[in-house]
Amino acid sequence: MSLHKRSTKIATALPPCDDFTRDVWTACAEHMQPYSRHLAGGGSYYVYGGDVKIRFADHDNTSAYYDDPDFNFVGGCTTDELKEIVAAIQEEGYPRLAKTTVVAKHLGLTTPKLKNLLAEHPEAYEEICENGAYPNTYTEYVDVAVALEIATEAGITARLPVFFGQNSEEDYSVEC
């Protein structure tokens, strides 16, 4: 059995960390891409910078159950490889949709102020069913391109980095 320990965080300041985490997380934050980390049960450590999947391990073989990572490092990565990862994340640009809180923080606004700004623009919102097991439950997301355009027209030019994502860890040591 696998137990997952998960935590989610949204912040506008990066805590002290190593160069890899700082550079990749900052590249994600500047374009509202999530930065998530996962410690797999087999010892591999995964970092997800938006849709870029990065794997660190002390062994070559990857799981047959998952897609191959975009970057696969056995033992670590060099400065040039780090620059390549950051460039790949930046190339992704902004996501199409994001949660209201993330967009508000990116624009330097509170969530209520963002909702007031977008109140007359229903095209700025999209409802998404996040879990197919609960088909009648929807979460409201913001269309990022529309929101940025409306904010710019309103004179809001701030684009603050927003650090957010999940940490998860598999634990196979627990018996049922």
What's the pLDDT score for residue 169? 75
3 state SS of 122? helix
Predicted confidence at residue 9, as pLDDT, reads 62
**Per-residue model confidence (pLDDT) at position 73:** 85
Q: pTM for the full model?
A: 0.77
Q: What kind and span of H or E run contains 102?
A: helix 100-106
Report pLDDT for 104. Answer: 95
Q: Which is nearest to 144 in space by CA: 99, 112, 111, 82?
A: 99
* pLDDT of 18: 77
pLDDT at residue 163, as a whole number: 85
pLDDT tens per residue across span 126-146: 999 888 888 888 889 999 999
The reported pLDDT for the residue numbered 171 is 66
Query: Which residues of the chain carry a pLDDT beneath 70?
Result: 1-17, 171-176
- Asked if 23 and 17 touch (Cβ cutoff 8 Å), the reply is no
For residue 109, the model assigns a pLDDT of 95
The pLDDT value given to residue 154: 96
